[in-house]
C-alpha cells in the first residue's frame, strides 16, 4: 500500500516552478518577471513558452500564426463552432459557449486526437527509418492494419489550407524539417495505396509542431485554442440574431427509429 505520504507532503501549500502572482508588486512566469522581462511578448509566444519553457524563433512563431490563421473557419455548421453559436442563440454567456466549443474540439473525427496520432505516427516512422527500415514498408503496413491519421478528409480529400501554409513555410525557410518532409513522403506512399489518402491539416500542423521541437503531450496542450478565432464570429453573429433562430428544427425533422407507442403501467 502506498499510503498518503505524498498527499501529506503536498498538503497546505502550492509548490510550483511555473510561477506565481504577488498582488500589488509583481508576477513570475516560468522563472522570469512577467512585466519586466516578458511584457512585450507576442501572446502566442508567451503561450508556447508557458507550455514548454522554451522560446520559438521569430520565423517559427510566424509559421505557427499562419497555421492557426489559415484554419480559422467561421462556419456555424461545423460541430464545434455550432456549439458556441447555439450557446449564443440560447443567450448563454460567451465564456460557456467558447469553452464548450473548444472542449468539443478535442474530438476523434477531427481536431485534437487525429493531430496527436499523426505526430506520434511521424515520430514512429522517423525512428523506424533511422533504424534502417523502409519507410514504404512501414507506412503500408500501418495503412493495412488500421487507419492512418493525418491522411484523408471527409467531403473533399484535397485540403485547401496546405498550399497556403507551405508557401509561408518556404518563405520562412521552414519547409525542410524532418517531420514535414516525411509527412509529404508518407503522402506519396499512401497515394499509391489509396488515392483519397491525401495529407490533411492535422498532419501538417502536427509535423510542423514536431519540427518546432514539441512532444506529443506538449502539442496536445498547444493546439487546444487553435479553432478559437473561427468559433468566435459564429458566437457573435448568433448573439446578434433573434434568439433561438439558429438552425431551428421542426418536430418532423426528428427521424424516429425506435420502439412503437406503449403504455407505462404503474406498479
Residues that bind other proteins (CB under 8 A): 1-4, 6-7, 12-20, 22, 26, 28, 30-33, 37, 92-93, 95-96, 99-100, 103, 106, 112-113, 116-117, 119-120, 216-217, 220, 248-264, 266-267
Contact (CB, 8 A) for 149 and 187: no
Instruction: Considering the complex, state which of residue 131 and residue 249 has its C-beta at the smaller distance from other proteins.
Output: 249
Closest approach of Cβ 173 to other proteins, in Å?
30
Distance from the Cα of residue 193 to its chain's centroid: 27
To the nearest whole angstrom, how small is the minimum distance from the Cβ of residue 217 to other proteins?
A: 8
Give the residue with the Cβ less far from other proteins, 21 or 167. 21
CB of 72 to other proteins, least distance (A): 22
Q: How far is the CB of 53 from other proteins (least distance, A)?
A: 10
- In 3D space, the residue among 112, 108, 101 whose CA is nearest the CA of residue 79 turns out to be 101
Of the pair 93, 213, the CB lying nearest other proteins is at 93
Smallest gap, in angstroms, from Cβ of residue 161 to other proteins?
Answer: 23
Cα Rg of the chain (Å, integer) = 23
Pick 28 or 61: Cβ nearer other proteins: 28
CA angle 111, 116, 120 (to 5 degrees): 155
Helix (H, G, I), strand (E, B) or coil at 96: helix
Closer of 27 and 166 to other proteins (Cβ): 27
- Sequence length of the chain is 267
From the list 99, 116, 106, 73, the residue with the least C-alpha distance to 202 is: 116
Question: Toward other proteins, which CB reaches closer, 101 or 169?
Answer: 101
Nearest Cα residue to 180 out of 168, 166, 160, 190: 166
- CB closer to other proteins out of 3 and 173: 3
Q: Closest distance between other proteins and the C-beta of residue 118, in Å?
A: 10
- In whole angstroms, how far apart are CA 55 and each of 29, 218, 219, 240? 13, 13, 14, 40
Backbone angles phi, psi at 197, to 5 degrees: -90, 60
End-to-end CA distance of the chain: 48
Tell me the closest approach of the beta carbon of residue 148 to other proteins, in angstroms.
13
Amino acid at each position: 500500500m502506498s499510503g498518503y505520504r505524498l498527499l501529506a507532503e503536498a498538503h497546505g501549500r502550492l509548490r510550483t516552478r511555473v510561477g506565481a502572482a504577488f498582488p500589488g508588486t509583481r508576477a513570475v512566469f516560468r522563472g522570469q518577471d512577467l512585466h519586466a522581462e516578458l511584457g512585450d511578448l507576442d501572446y502566442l509566444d508567451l503561450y508556447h513558452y508557458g507550455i514548454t519553457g522554451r522560446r520559438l524563433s521569430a520565423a517559427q512563431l510566424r509559421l505557427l500564426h499562419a497555421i492557426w490563421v489559415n484554419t480559422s473557419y467561421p462556419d456555424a455548421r461545423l460541430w464545434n463552432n455550432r456549439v458556441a453559436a447555439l450557446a449564443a442563440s440560447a443567450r448563454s454567456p460567451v465564456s460557456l459557449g467558447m469553452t464548450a466549443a473548444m472542449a468539443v474540439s478535442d474530438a476523434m473525427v477531427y481536431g485534437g486526437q487525429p493531430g496527436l496520432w499523426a505526430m506520434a505516427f511521424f515520430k514512429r516512422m522517423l525512428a523506424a527509418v533511422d533504424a534502417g527500415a523502409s519507410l514504404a514498408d512501414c507506412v503500408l503496413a500501418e495503412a493495412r492494419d488500421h487507419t492512418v491519421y493525418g491522411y484523408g478528409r471527409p467531403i473533399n480529400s484535397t485540403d485547401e489550407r496546405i498550399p497556403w501554409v507551405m508557401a509561408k513555410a518556404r518563405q520562412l525557410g521552414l519547409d525542410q524539417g524532418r517531420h514535414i518532409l516525411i509527412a509529404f513522403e508518407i503522402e506519396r506512399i499512401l497515394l499509391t495505396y489509396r488515392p483519397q489518402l491525401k495529407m490533411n491539416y492535422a498532419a501538417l500542423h502536427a509535423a510542423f509542431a514536431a519540427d518546432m521541437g514539441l512532444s506529443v503531450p506538449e502539442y496536445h496542450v498547444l493546439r487546444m485554442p487553435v479553432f478559437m478565432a473561427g468559433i468566435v464570429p459564429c458566437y457573435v453573429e448568433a448573439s446578434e440574431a433573434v434568439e433561438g433562430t439558429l438552425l431551428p428544427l421542426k418536430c418532423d425533422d426528428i427521424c424516429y427509429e425506435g420502439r412503437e407507442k406503449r403504455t407505462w403501467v404503474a406498479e
